[in-house]
Amino acid sequence: MPAASIRARARAEMINEIKAIARRHLAAEGANLSLRAVARDMGMVSSAIYRYFPSRDELLTALIVDGYHALGDAVEAGDAEVTDRADLRGRWLAVCHAVRRWALTQPAEYALLFGSPVPGYAAPQETTVAAARTPAALSRILVDGLAAGILTDPGPAELPGPVHADLAAVRDHLFAGVPEALLARGAAGWIHCFGAVSFELFGQLNGVIEAREEFFDHQMRRMVDLIGLP
């Protein structure tokens, strides 16, 4: 038993070191991650990496899942810092800013998660549960608001039928307790947050907006108004 676990432990450390170096390369060079360069940095030959990851895509998947969890951690930490749990507005803004801060410190990883998909690469199912953590954190704010009586269901009147059906289907196993119409508003907020961060990170704001943080904050504040957070 201890013998096997010694091997298993060495293997796990190897995998972590590979991922760590790969993340460094990702940050330095962007999405076209080179297995050979990672191997060089580890003092190994490229083929040795294949003992630990069956392909470059599997390495990417591991990095993506890690990335979603890192973002989820950052987002949940940002939310938790707001001591007044009834301050829905403050919590929402805290989450948005946490997303942006994380994206700015890990631009390559953010691009890996939310940027153009890698051509030959299809994200496997296992990434979706990790990907849902941030939207889940946002929906928790809405749930708390409903439970505390601060928010009320806007009613399905403002939703087109098919959208209502989609949201109803997804609500039960991802965002339990949020009425569809409110969920649609939340989606708008999440989309706007993602859009603003991507705009900034992907260079669309270059030469236009210099006060990035103030601009982002203003955009998010206008959005919480639209969502209806008091």
Query: Could you give the angle at the alpha carbon of 224 between the alpha carbons of 223 and 229, nearest 5°?
Result: 155
203 sits near a copy of itself (criterion: CB under 8 A): yes
d(CA 229, CA 188): 13
214 sits near a copy of itself (criterion: CB under 8 A): yes
d(CA 196, CA 128): 22
Residues 86-125, interacting with a copy of itself (CB under 8 A):
111-112, 114-120, 123
Amino acid at 98: A
Amino acid at 172: D
Single residue of 17, 57, 144, 166 touching a copy of itself by CB under 8 A: 166
Answer whether 111's CB lies under 8 Å from 201's CB: yes
Q: Coil, strand or helix: which one is 211?
A: coil
Chain residues in the site for DNA (CB under 7 A): 1, 3-4, 6-7, 10-11, 14, 33-37, 43-48, 50-52, 54-57
195 sits near a copy of itself (criterion: CB under 8 A): yes
d(CA 203, CA 198): 8
Q: Indicate the residue among 47 and 152 with the shorter CB distance to DNA.
A: 47
* 177 Cα distance to chain centroid: 22
Count of residues engaged in binding a copy of itself, rule: CB under 8 A: 55
Contacts to a copy of itself by CB under 8 A: 29-32, 111-112, 114-120, 123, 128, 131, 159-163, 165-167, 170, 174, 184-185, 187-188, 191-192, 194-196, 198-199, 202-204, 206-211, 214-215, 217-219, 222-223, 225-226
